[in-house]
Amino acid sequence: MCGEKLPPGLQLASQLPEPIFTPATKSDTGHDLNIDMNECRRILGNETAERVRDLSLQIYSAGRDYAAQRGIIVADTKFEFGTVDGKLLLIDECLTPDSSRFWPPDQYAVGQSPPSFDKQFVRDYLETLDWNKTSPGPHLPKDVIEKTSAKYLEAFRRLTGDNVKNSGS
């Protein structure tokens, strides 16, 4: 995966022996394009590529450990970096249900697609449609929106120990 050799015998939802860095960039069509570390170095330069890799693994590990203490497995995540005036910045949101796969440990089993507290529910719904995955996206039914919202709120509750307060209260 992205030039990283994976251990033999992996099954769906298998945990890797250690986190791996899988770089990507934006393709001309706006989707993520997986690249290997050599291409990452070519695009960013050696020093910046190594820094992005090291920071990604550090941030992931800290987030994974924090979430694990609160009843969430962070199966994977995505970080976006950019530069401003030559300074490397972590941009966009990170370690959220939009950028990560969050699984409940009590329902996790190797070989099965675990339930999740993330946008996988929406992805799964979209896969049932005859849609060519180009903009504009299809309208989501109310029940899909409500179930996704409930998953996000549960992730928030587990991670913070608090409930989202209604803005009207």
* Contacts of 134 by beta carbon, 8 Å cutoff, 6+ apart: none
Q: How many domains does the chain divide into?
A: 1
Residue 18 located in a structural domain: no
Paired tokens of 137: 């996206």
Q: What's the pLDDT at 41?
A: 97
Give a yes or no: residue 12 inside a domain.
no
Structural domain contains residue 53: yes
Nearest CA-CA partner of 125 in 103, 142, 100, 108: 142
Question: What is residue 127's predicted lDDT score, i.e. its pLDDT?
Answer: 92
Angle formed by the axes of helices 46-68 and 142-160, nearest 10°: 90
3-state secondary structure of 25: strand
Which residues fall within 8 angstroms of residue 140, CB to CB, at 6 or more apart? 122, 125, 148
Encoded amino acid at 76, one letter? D
Residue 169 located in a structural domain: no
Over its length of 169 residues, how does the chain's per-residue pLDDT go in tens digits? 888 889 999 999 999 999 999 999 988 876 789 999 999 999 999 999 999 999 999 999 999 999 999 999 999 999 999 999 999 999 999 999 999 999 999 999 999 988 999 888 898 899 999 988 888 889 999 999 999 999 999 999 999 999 987 555 4
Q: The whole model's pTM is what?
A: 0.88
Token reading at 57: 């693994």
Tell me the residue range of the domain where 54 lies.
24-160
In single-letter form, the type of residue at position 13 comes to: A
| pLDDT score recorded for residue 105 | 96
- Amino acid 168: pLDDT: 52
CATH of the domain at 36: 3.30.470.20
